[in-house]
Every structure is written in structure tokens, then in C-alpha cells.
Amino acid sequence: MAASRFLPMTHREMKDRGWDEVDIVFVTGDAYIDHYSFAMAILGRVLEHAGFKVAILSQPDWRSCEPWKTFGRPRLFFAISAGNMDSMINHYTANKKVRNDDAYSPGGKIHLRPDRATMPYCQRAREAYSGVPVIAGGVEASLRRLAHYDYWSDTVKPSILLDSKADLVAYGMGEETIVEIAKRLAAGKTVKDMRDLRGIAYALGASEPPPPQDANTLHIPSFEEVKADKDRFLRATHLIHRETSPFNAKTIVQKHANRHVVQTPPQYPVSQERMDFYYGLPYTRQAHFSYKEPIPAYEMIKDSVTIMRGCFGGCTFCSITAHQGRTIQSRSEESVLKELKQMGQDPEFKGTVSDIGGPTANMYQMRCTKPEIEKICKRLSCVSPTICKCLGTDHKPLTELMKKSREVEGVNKVLVASGIRMDLARLSPEYMTELTAHHIGGRLKVAPEHTDPKVLAAMKKPTHDTFEDFAKKFEAENKKAGKNQFLVPYFISGHPGSDLPAMIDLAIFLKRNGYKPDAVQDFIPAPFDVATAMYYTGKDPETGRELPIARNLRDRKLQRALLQFFKPENYFEVREALLKAGRKDLIGNGCDCLIPEHPPKQAIIARREKANRDSGEHVHAREFPKKDPSSKGYRPQRPSARRRD
């Protein structure tokens, strides 16, 4: 693609467009990839279409404000985002260890963005050009817009608005919000004139009175209250999540010392026509031409097609519903097929669409069938504890799209790599047939997450028999299609509600069914999530019931090891977990035994290698120099020294 089609990323590229200044500088912690899966691309293109000059400042060196001066003083504002992921989750594992790579950076390099990137990015923007509005957005800012628990510091922190000094936080999917902000600022309005917009949070000045509590405004426990009292934190979490439906949400006010943070209701779901518009803009679908190394996240999504956004699953450990909304927003069939045709005509396209889906694979065009109920409903999940009778679960629009996608010239294979919602899929025999016969590359990802009913209830996931029923139907469809495909189930360790007995039962299930998970998902308490409130307080915000919590790193490590009990390097952790839970009966050679009585040789070697890594050097790995025959003895500097055998 021509380099000029990218939004400018340097001063020279800006000048090549004939610009002397830009309206908006979009600062991002990710490498610049001009594909709608990345915030800087979709928001940049939407702003560009609205007539604004947008430049991209990608992964700037935050140690000084000089990179923020690359394009000169922006005419309207700085748009700040830590990137597609929360920077702390991007940097650290669940055990708080530094990750080895960053999927959103060239070559997977780490350390190209700071911890809690939104804050230094906003502060450098202020330093570079005083008086220029600073608008924060993206996942990191969205999930920290109110007082929140921070796992990495194990503290409750105030709204990111106060720490970052941003003028506004635009939360959620921000296309409509950011364009309206740009239009108002271009018309001479100030940041204070944005306070009536949906989907924003802002901090009032110390002398400004808070909005009065009325039918449309809700005051929740203050920062000081939720920091001092876990029950108040639990109460605040419950109230916040009750006000996440755009059809009935109230304005939320939370006091922070002598100031108030105000969150307006979420933006309304966008129409199909607007979805088609967003995803039909002239993206190059490539990483910026300046990058010399591959960017892992781009390699993963470059041949994928997004057909919808949002999720009504409401899983307590997931941020998708909080960020994209519960209402499914889908593209039209025509829009998706048009994109597939363009891909098929690209000489660099290899013929395989790596994924056709979204946050989930099979919620396309599913919505509440009764708008009058949707308008007042405050249910956090449309499928938990059971599928709502008002939810439309028809898979026909999706199966028709899947059939037509296979007929596009230049497209040889269309795979489904997004997670399948099993409780919905098993309701549609036609979808199961289409999926199994034509859209799986040998392995199908599913996420039962656990087997324990109490843990699943805390997650807002369907009961375990849903997975077993789906697995039977999948196996039957495999035989019908004459294929030998298999499921790849994903499970979570360390989730609130999960203890060693629950994890041991899960490990027994895995052994009985021959599952050996290659990867294990450790629960990470992300800000804003309901499960994070459970982790911090030890209680369920909805029911108030107490939950077992794997709080220290050792307990979390034992739970993780149980999911991969079959790995020799986990032998000693699994043994410790079984003995701790009083399940010595699972050590030995019985049918359900998870580990043998005696450690295998590989387990001992793995433990020794780990000790070497942890200590730097281990006596068993050390090479000693040969003795010198002319030596005066062992440690000759000592009068009593004598040679040792």
C-alpha cells in the first residue's frame, strides 16, 4: 500500500500531506497498525472522515515531553490511550512477573511503554503544550474512571482522572464520542461544554457543587469510604455495574476528598449502518511502513474479519461487556462480504480467513426481542444463570453469512477462531453442522472455565453439563462430517470462589477425559471487573456471600499446577496441593491418581533447574577446577590448612 495512505506518524509525513499543523495528536502505547482492530486506526479514520487532521504518536519515549512536540501544538486536543490492552496486564503475569514479550510492539519487544501508561502520557502532553485539552480513553482509562482496586499495588486507587490530570475520560467504544468532542472544540467550545455528552467521565473543581441526587443521578460511596471499608467497596461495585445499560443508566457521582468525579451514562449502541461505516473506512490493513520487525498482534489478526462487537455474557472476570457493552452491534452481511472480496483480491492474501467473529463467535445479530423490557432491564448477563427468554438466539443470520463467505472468490477457507458460546451454539443444530463441517482448522476453542458449580456461578458461566452436552454434539457432528477434529477447552485457575478441592475435582475431570491443557489462564484482577471486587473483598457483590480466595502467590501457583498435573515440572506443587487438601489418595497408581508416589526423574531435574535459575548458581551445576599438585594444601592461607580428599 502507498505510504501516504497511513495517517502521519512523523513530522515529515505531516509535511508531505501539505499540513502545517494537526487538529488531533493520537498518543498510543501500541505500534501503529492501520487495521480496525486497533483503536488508533479506527478512531483516527473516523476523525479523518469527519474532516479533521489526525497524527499518530506511537509508543513515544515518555521520559521527556519532546516526542509530544513532534507535530507542533495540536489545534484541538491530545487523545491519549495506553493501547488495546491495559498496560499493567500487558507488562505483568498473574504472578506479577515481567512478561517476556509485548504482542503490540515491533519484534515483541518489551519496555516500549511505561507502567500505567495513560498517566505519564497525559502528563507529558500537559508539559509539552499547556492549555491543550487532554482526552484519555481506551481500556486502561475506561476501567479506571472511578475509584478501583489495583492488583499490582494491592491498594484502592482514585479515579485516573485525578492522577493523570486528564480533562475527560471517554470510556467504552469511543467513535461517536471523540468526533463530537472534536466538533465542539472546533466550534470554539471548551472542555466544560462536553459534560452533557454520554460515555464520558470528568472531575469537578473543588469549588464546583456536585449534581444533586435525583431520579437520574446516583451518588455512590466516596473514594475515602471504599478505600477504608471493603463492604463500601462492594456496595459501590454493585451500584456501578447496575448502571451500565445505556437504556436506563443514571449519571454516577463519586466524591474524592473535596472534589467529585462524574460519570455520564454510556453511549447508545451504534446502528448497523454506523457499524458498516466504521469498518468500511479506507484502512491499509497493514502495520506502518517504518516497522522492520513483525508485530505479533498484527500477524494474528491481519487476515481476520470482525462481524460484531459487544457481549451479553457478562462474565465477571471479563472486561469486554464493560468496555463494548451488553448490546450486540453487528455489521450487515453486505459489509462483511465486501471486505472478504477485497481480501480475496489482495495478492498478498493466502486464501485463509483466520477468524470471522468478534468478542465471541456466535452472537451475530442477537438482541433482546422485547425493546420495552430491554429499556428497563438491569440484568448483568442475558445468559446467566439461565438464558433469558427475551433473548433472540437465532443463528440463521450467522449460518447464512458463513455459507456465503465460503463462496467469495479468492477465499479458500474461513475459520472460526473466536471463542464459541456453547450454551447458545448447542441450541442450533444447523450452526453446529456448518461450524464443524466447514469452519474449524482441526481445533475448536471453547471456554468451560471450571467444573465446580459454585465457581461457575461466581463467574456467571453456564453449568458444567453445558460443556459436556456441547462436547457430545460436537463429536457427533465430527463423525457425520467424517472429520477428526477436537476441542481445546480453556480453564481458569485462581478465580474467586475456587479453592484446592474445587481445582482437584477439575484436575480429575481433565484426567478422566484425556484433556491436557497446553496453556492455563491465571485469573488477573483487572480494574472495574466484578470478579476483582470478589478477589479484594472476599464476597460476591450481588449476593454478599463469602467466597474462598487464592490471595497469595503460592496458593495461586498450586491451583495453576493442578490444571497441568501431568507435567513433570509441576510434580512437587501438585503433591503439596494434594497433601494440603487431604487427598493423598490421588498420589499413586490408581485410576484417578494425578501423580505417582515417587517423583519422576524429569521432575527432579526441573526442580534443580528452577533452583539454579532462582539462585543464579547451584552446587550441583557448578564446575570445580582441578587440583594443582604443587598446591600447599586446601586454603593455604590458614596455618591449620590441610588438603582434603
Q: What is the pLDDT of residues 396-448, one digit of tens each?
A: 999 999 999 999 999 999 999 998 999 999 999 999 999 999 999 899 989 99
CA 563 – CA 520 distance, rounded (Å): 7
Residue 640 is predicted with a pLDDT of 53
In contact, 294 and 361? CB cutoff 8 Å: no
Cell numbers representing residue 616 in the block: 543464579
Residue 634 is predicted with a pLDDT of 42
Using the 3D structure, point to which of 384, 418, 438 is the last residue of a domain. 438
pLDDT of residue 631 exceeding 80, the answer is: no
Residue 171 lies in a domain: yes
| Residue 322 pLDDT class (50, 70, 90 cuts) | confident
In contact, 34 and 109? CB cutoff 8 Å: no
Using the 3D structure, point to which of 438, 470, 503 is the last residue of a domain. 438
What percent of the chain shows pLDDT beyond 70?
A: 94
**How much is the CA Rg of the chain, to the nearest whole Å?**
27
CA 176 – CA 465 distance, rounded (Å): 41
| Torsion angle of C-alpha atoms 616, 620, 622, 626, degrees rounded to 10 | 170
Amino acid in the structure at residue 592: D
Statement to judge: residues 195 and 334 lie in one domain: no
State the average pLDDT over residues 300-306. Answer: 96
Residues paired with residue 78 on neighbouring β-strands, in sequence order: 25, 134
In the chain, what are the helix, strand and coil shares in percent, each to the nearest 5? 35, 15, 50
pLDDT of residue 618 exceeding 50, the answer is: no
pLDDT of residue 612 exceeding 90, the answer is: no
Residue 320 lies in a domain: yes
CA 519 – CA 114 distance, rounded (Å): 27
Residue 619 is predicted with a pLDDT of 41
CA 424 – CA 588 distance, rounded (Å): 40
Cell numbers representing residue 334 in the block: 453486505
Residue 339 lies in a domain: yes
Say how many domains are in the chain.
Answer: 2
Contacts for 405 with CB less than 8 Å, ≥ 6 apart: 336, 337, 340, 353, 356, 411, 414
In contact, 86 and 323? CB cutoff 8 Å: no
DSSP-derived letter for residue 368 is B
State the average pLDDT over residues 350-366. Answer: 96
If you average pLDDT over every residue of the chain, what do you get? 93
Residue 154 lies in a domain: yes
CATH of the domain at 418: 3.30.750.210
DSSP-derived letter for residue 79 is E
CA 27 – CA 522 distance, rounded (Å): 30
Residue 295 lies in a domain: no
Residue 615 is predicted with a pLDDT of 65
State the average pLDDT over residues 354-360. Answer: 95
State the average pLDDT over residues 488-506. Answer: 96
Cell numbers representing residue 142 in the block: 475506561
CA 443 – CA 438 distance, rounded (Å): 12
pLDDT of residue 629 exceeding 50, the answer is: no
Residue 531 lies in a domain: no
Statement to judge: residues 196 and 327 lie in one domain: no
Residue 616 is predicted with a pLDDT of 54
Residue 410 lies in a domain: yes
Furthest CA-CA distance within the chain: 97
pTM confidence score: 0.91
Residue 597 is predicted with a pLDDT of 94
In contact, 547 and 539? CB cutoff 8 Å: yes
In contact, 228 and 360? CB cutoff 8 Å: no
Q: Which long-range contacts (CB under 8 A, 24 or more apart) does 591-599 make?
A: 592/508, 592/511, 592/512, 594/504, 594/507, 594/508, 594/511, 594/562, 594/565, 595/565, 595/571, 599/568, 599/571, 599/572, 599/575
In contact, 194 and 186? CB cutoff 8 Å: no
Q: Which long-range contacts (CB under 8 A, 24 or more apart) does 448-451 make?
A: 448/422, 448/489, 448/490, 448/491, 449/490, 449/491, 449/492, 449/495, 450/491, 450/492, 450/495, 450/498, 450/502, 450/506, 451/502, 451/505, 451/506, 451/509
CA 141 – CA 382 distance, rounded (Å): 26
pLDDT of residue 644 exceeding 80, the answer is: no
Cell numbers representing residue 213 in the block: 441526587
pLDDT of residue 3 exceeding 60, the answer is: no
CATH of the domain at 193: 3.40.50.280
Statement to judge: residues 30 and 175 lie in one domain: yes
pLDDT of residue 277 exceeding 70, the answer is: yes
Q: For residues 274 and 1, which has the higher predicted lDDT (pLDDT)? A: 274
What length is written for the chain? Answer: 645
Domain of residue 392: give its range: 303-438
* Per-residue pLDDT tens digits for 80-116: 999 999 999 999 999 999 999 999 999 999 999 999 9
CA 36 – CA 304 distance, rounded (Å): 11
In contact, 424 and 312? CB cutoff 8 Å: no
State the average pLDDT over residues 133-145. Answer: 97
Statement to judge: residues 29 and 166 lie in one domain: yes
Write down the residue that cell numbers 453486505 correspond to.
334
State the average pLDDT over residues 583-608. Answer: 92
Using the 3D structure, point to which of 415, 438, 461 is the last residue of a domain. 438
Residue 280 lies in a domain: no
pLDDT of residue 305 exceeding 50, the answer is: yes
